[in-house]
């Protein structure tokens, strides 16, 4: 048992593997995470959701071990204990449309073993206010926009100030203002424990995360700070008037110029690297 | 210069907001001029705040006890919120109504049809309880200590336990022969328990019900419908002790297995 790592990390996984038929969704992943906000970047199908579902104790791995706050989710009693300290926002939250946000959050509070009605009411009101739905808590969920429904699910995840928050694409469906509010909310939550969130958005990672993981084809291909991810592309980003077939990555930007990552094409000028460049390079080999 | 001072009791009543309005106004007029009484008032206020802090501390301790998570609230999960309560009541009423209406519509001449279909009704309720749409919070529930499918199992048990005795009572009140009213119940319980057990495995409870329900309907209903065995004889056969005991044993076994497998259900092996 890998107890050495578990003593120091809030989240530790070792050789974690999950397959669906012949497809390996998560492939021998090792991780050791402390407190703060950790962003998981990666393209669709990279295995982010499968990894997060396993961390949220929703899905059992085929191989490997997970330790959350020193507890093993394979052991039923420890799994229940983990869930007492866990908040989970799934990628697709199919909420009962005839519930109001208050009823939905109250229901989740019951599932989280909170038996006192007054406490549930206070806590549900608190988390709904935290996600900016104080004035909508008595409206049917079916009348809310997609972004608002996402915030209802987020409120349910925040119930009881969990030590570990696992959020699968929490910013999906949110407008720019709501994204800002979400960032502020998560920054506050991170002070109390660990927040792991998946996203496609590097701006989200730059603004929020102390640490970033990049997943591709079921494997972690980068782990470090957002600055370190950006530094991957430092000195390797160029702009020119035409495409470059030899570049690791090359694409046309909005102003019609071409941006390249890799060795400098003829006539290209060097430009400062961004987090996007580092992310793209993390999967292209160095 | 003041020659008198406010009594401590009067100041305490004033701080507590319980002083007579006329006396309170007089006291306030005096306090404006008397530094000694203002100091006494400040001390009385501090005492009040200490009392308040003490009350808050005691209240917080009480809240700690009241709010402590409980381990035993399976039934509460089934009826914790209004929509769930409504669904539960609808399921109970449905379970009572379906066999009753079937029996009344079919009449005693079509007992075989009743025997074939009535036990399937509670199992249908169990299948509905397992549907994803039955859980208001979707996958969020699966990461809660009382995980989603566990809560669904609890709801199904609550519905079944509530509906079966009510169904027997309703059938008896309606004037059906006792052996006919009772003969389908244990097989129905067994069928429901098997469907419940299916939800703890990779099998789809709906498919399990389709297979088991069809088999039941064919074995019990077909002989009567084809007149090879009179329906009344089939009902008598179902009411015999060996058949009833077998159904009871299957039900108990399936429910026991469901209970022992409840943690596996909450930790899914598949997507």
- How far apart CA A170 and CA A49 sit, in angstroms, is 12
Do B210 and B91 belong to one domain? yes
**pLDDT number for residue B62:** 65
Domain that holds residue A245: 230-282
Q: Is A99 on the interface with B (CB under 8 A)?
A: yes
CA distance B46 to B75: 48
The answer to whether residues B31 and B110 belong to one domain is no
Contacts of residue B48, defined as CB under 8 A and 6 or more positions apart, other chains included, come to B12, B15, B16
Tell me: the pLDDT tens digits for B223-271?
766 667 776 677 778 888 899 999 999 999 998 998 888 766 655 544 4
- Based on the domain organization, do B197 and B90 belong to the same domain? yes
Q: What is the pLDDT of residue B104?
A: 63
The edge-to-edge listing of strands for the beta sheet with A11-20 is: A23-33, A11-20, A63-68
Domain-located, residue B2: no
Strand, coil or helix: B58: helix
Q: Quote the pLDDT of residue B92.
A: 66
Q: How sure is the predictor about B3, in pLDDT bands with cuts at 50, 70 and 90?
A: low
CB contact under 8 A, B269 and A114: no
Return the residue of A nearest to B67 by Cα. Answer: A116
Are residues B85 and B50 part of one domain? no
Cβ-contact B225, B112 below 8 angstroms:
yes
Closest approach of B175 to chain A, Cα-based (Å)? 40
Query: Domain range spanning residue B255?
Result: 74-266
Q: Which of B22, B37, B67 is the last residue before a domain boundary?
A: B67
Task: Give tens-digit pLDDT for B21-30.
Answer: 888 888 888 8
| CB contact (8 A) between residue A92 and residue B151 | no
- Sorted by sequence, the CB contacts under 8 Å of residue B154 that are 6+ apart come out as B74, B75, B77, B78
Question: Which of the four pLDDT bands, split at 50, 70 and 90, describes residue B49?
Answer: low
- Specify whether B143 is located in the same domain as B44: no
Q: Which residues of chain A have pLDDT under 50?
A: 1-8, 285-286
Indicate the range of A12-26, A222-236, B40-54, B180-194 predicted with least confidence: B40-54
Residues 79-98 of B with CB under 8 A from A: 80-84
Q: Is the pLDDT of residue B145 over 90?
A: no
Please list the residues that pair with A239 across neighbouring strands.
Answer: A259, A269
The whole-angstrom separation of Cα B54 and Cα B118 is 62
Instruction: Give the closest residue to A65 by CA, choosing from A81, A47, A48, A78.
Output: A78
Asked whether residue A57 is assigned to any structural domain, the reply reads no
Mode of pairing for the β-strands spanning A194-199 and A164-168: parallel
Cβ–Cβ below 8 Å for A57 and B69:
no
Q: Are residues B165 and B180 in the same domain?
A: yes
Would A253 be classed as within a structural domain? yes
**Does a structural domain hold residue B247?**
yes
Domain-embedded: residue A274? yes
Burial of B254 (0-12, 13-18, 19+ CB in 10 A): buried
**Residue A48: per-residue pLDDT:** 93
Indicate whether B123 and B14 sit together in one domain. no
Asked if A107 and B67 come within 8 Å (Cβ–Cβ), the reply is no
**Contact list, A74 vs chain B (CB under 8 Å):** 267
Supply the pLDDT for residue B56.
67
pLDDT of residue A5: 35
Q: For residue A254, tell me if it sits in a domain.
A: yes
Tell me whether strands A11-20 and A23-33 are parallel, antiparallel or unpaired: antiparallel
Q: How far apart are CA A168 and CA A198, in angstroms?
A: 5
Q: Which of B44, B67, B90 is the last residue of a domain?
A: B67
Residue B271, pLDDT score: 41
What residue in B sits closest to A165 (Cα-Cα)? B143
Q: Is the same domain home to B140 and B98?
A: yes
Residues B82 and B131 in one domain: yes
- In chain A, the number of structural domains is 1
Judged against a pLDDT cut of 50, whether residue B203 lies above it is answered with yes
Last residue of a domain, one of B67, B87, B111: B67
Binned at pLDDT 50, 70 and 90, residue B63 comes out as low
In a domain, B271, yes or no: no
Across the interface, of A50, A93, A119, the residue whose CB is closest to B140 is A93
User: B127 near B209, Cβ under 8 Å?
Assistant: yes
How much is the pLDDT for A183?
Answer: 83
Q: What is the pLDDT of residues B84-135, one digit of tens each?
A: 566 667 666 766 666 566 556 655 455 566 667 778 877 877 777 776 656 7
Give a yes or no: residue A186 inside a domain: no
Chain A residues closer than 8 Å to B82 by CB: 103
For residues B202 and B118, membership in a common domain is answered with yes
Provide the domain count of chain B: 2
Chain A contact for B263 (CB, 8 A cutoff): yes
Asked whether residue B191 falls in the same domain as residue B241, the answer is: yes
Q: Is B156 in the same domain as B252?
A: yes
Asked whether residue A264 is domain-assigned, the answer is yes
| Residue A68 in domain | no
Residue B120 domain-assigned (yes or no): yes
What is residue A284's predicted lDDT score, i.e. its pLDDT? 60
pLDDT at A273: 84
């Amino acid at each position: 048992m890998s107890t050495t790592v578990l003593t120091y990390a809030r989240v530790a996984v070792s050789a974690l593997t999950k397959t669906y038929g012949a497809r390996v969704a998560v492939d021998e992943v090792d991780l050791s995470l402390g407190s703060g906000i950790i962003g998981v970047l990666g393209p669709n199908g990279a295995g982010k959701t499968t990894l997060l579902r396993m961390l949220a104790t929703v899905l059992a791995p085929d191989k490997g071990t997970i330790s959350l706050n020193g507890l093993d989710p394979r052991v039923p009693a420890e799994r229940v204990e983990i869930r007492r300290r866990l908040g989970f926002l799934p990628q697709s939250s199919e909420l009962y449309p005839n519930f109001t946000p208050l009823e939905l959050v109250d229901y989740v509070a019951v599932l989280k073993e909170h038996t006192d009605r007054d406490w549930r009411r206070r806590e549900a009101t608190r988390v709904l206010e935290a996600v900016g739905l104080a004035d909508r808590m008595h409206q049917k969920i079916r009348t809310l926009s997609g972004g608002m429904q996402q915030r209802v699910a987020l409120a349910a995840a925040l119930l009881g100030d969990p030590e570990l928050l696992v959020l699968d694409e929490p910013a999906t469906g949110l407008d720019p203002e709501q994204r800002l509010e979400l960032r502020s909310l998560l920054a506050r939550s991170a002070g109390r424990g660990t927040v792991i969130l998946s996203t496609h958005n590097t701006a989200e990672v730059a603004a929020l995360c102390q640490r970033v993981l990049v997943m591709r084809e079921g494997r972690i291909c980068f782990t470090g700070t957002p600055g370190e991810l950006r530094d991957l592309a430092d000195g390797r980003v160029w702009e020119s008037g035409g495409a470059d077939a030899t570049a690791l990555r090359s694409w046309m930007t909005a102003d019609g110029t071409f941006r390249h990552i890799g060795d400098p094409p003829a006539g290209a000028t060097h430009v400062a690297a961004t987090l996007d460049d580092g992310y793209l390079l993390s999967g292209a080999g160095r | 210069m003041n020659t008198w001072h406010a009594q401590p009791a009067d100041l305490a009543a004033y701080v507590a907001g319980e002083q007579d309005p006329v006396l309170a106004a007089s006291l306030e007029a005096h306090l404006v001029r008397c530094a000694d009484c203002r100091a006494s008032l400040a001390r009385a206020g501090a005492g009040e705040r200490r009392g308040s802090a003490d009350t808050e501390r005691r209240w917080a301790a009480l809240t700690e006890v009241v709010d402590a998570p409980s381990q035993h609230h399976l039934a509460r999960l089934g009826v914790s919120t209004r929509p769930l309560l409504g669904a539960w009541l609808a399921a109970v009423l449905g379970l009572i109504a379906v066999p009753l209406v079937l029996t009344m519509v079919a009449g005693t001449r079509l007992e075989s049809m009743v025997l074939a279909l009535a036990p399937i009704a509670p199992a249908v309720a169990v299948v509905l309880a397992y549907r994803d749409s039955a859980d208001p919070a979707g996958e969020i529930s699966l990461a809660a200590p009382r995980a989603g499918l566990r809560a669904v199992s609890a709801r199904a048990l609550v519905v079944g336990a509530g509906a079966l005795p009510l169904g027997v009572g309703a059938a008896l009140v309606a004037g059906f022969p006792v052996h006919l009213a009772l003969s389908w119940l244990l097989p129905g319980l067994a069928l429901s328990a098997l469907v419940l057990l299916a939800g703890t495995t990779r099998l789809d409870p709906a498919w399990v019900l389709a297979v088991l329900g069809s088999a039941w309907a064919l074995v019990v209903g077909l002989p009567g419908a084809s007149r090879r065995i009179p329906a009344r004889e089939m009902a008598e056969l179902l009411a015999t002790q060996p058949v009833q005991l077998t159904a009871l044993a299957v039900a108990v076994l399936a429910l026991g297995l469901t209970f022992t497998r409840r943690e596996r259900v909450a930790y899914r092996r598949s997507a």
